[in-house]
Amino acid sequence: MRGAAAGITLVLALAGCSEGSTSGGGAGESRAADAPFNPSQLAQAIPSELAAPKGWKGDSPLVRDGSKLRKLCEQGARFSCAGLTSYGNSRYSTSGAFVDFELLAYDSVDNAKVGMKSMVADIHDGKPDAKPLTVDAGADETDAYADGNRPGVVLRVGTVVAFVFGETLPKDNDLQSFAKFQVQRINTAATGKNPDA
């Protein structure tokens, strides 16, 4: 429970956002993700220890669902909890850098759109001076920002909202590459396959 609280706290304590960008270019690719994810699919979509890039160490992913998730969300989050069915997070780290992945699965595309909209609004309110970034990861909706050396992006792929953010990311593992990596895992899990297979 403490891990889930820390993950949601990271969303709330996020270091910045910007005007960002929205893209529907990935709609064809992410149609399989329009169906609600069950907790086991979400667990597969979260970046695993096995999938960490060379030189990075992955933490064990955490998934929460059911009444514990609803209670945690209502007490600690400022984004929409309506229709939220499961939540997961994981982290990759290397010397002097980290990237966090947070996934929220909703019971419908409409609720996921509201979830993304409220998350982005909360981020914008927190850091109005952050600069917009262009990130093209093939998601249905994208909002990316840079706040010093802490870039982040909120992505919606069907019924799943992903928040990817890091600190001091190297050029060979930048925000764009991690965002694409996360979208690919969501799309693979949506088809019933394990992204680590």
At 65-91, the pLDDT tens digits run 887 787 777 776 666 888 999 999 999
Alpha-carbon distances, residue 146 vs 67, 74, 118, 173 (angstroms): 35, 28, 19, 15
Strand boundaries in the chain, DSSP class E: 57-58, 62-65, 84-94, 97-106, 131-133, 141-147, 150-157, 160-167
Q: Mean pLDDT, the chain, as a whole number?
A: 84
Q: How would you label 159-196 residue by residue, b for 16+ Cβ within 10 Å and e otherwise?
A: bbbbbbbbbebeeebebbbbbbbbbbbbbbbbeeeebe
DSSP SS3 for 8:
helix
pLDDT at 31: 75
Q: pLDDT value at position 4?
A: 41
pLDDT confidence of residue 122: 84
Whole-angstrom distance, CA of residue 172 vs CA of residue 190: 27
Highest mean pLDDT among 5-14, 29-38, 138-147: 138-147
Average pLDDT over every residue of 174-188: 97
pLDDT above 50 (res 3): no
Mind giving me the DSSP string for 99-114?
EEEEEEEESSHHHHHH
Q: Choose between 6 and 195: higher pLDDT.
A: 195
Phi (first) and psi of residue 94, to 5 degrees: -145, 175
The model's pTM: 0.84
Quick one: average pLDDT of 36-46?
Answer: 95
Over residues 102-130, the mean pLDDT reads 89
What's the pLDDT score for residue 142?
Answer: 97
pLDDT (0 to 100) of residue 72: 73
3-class secondary-structure state, position 12: helix
Strand partners, 143: 154
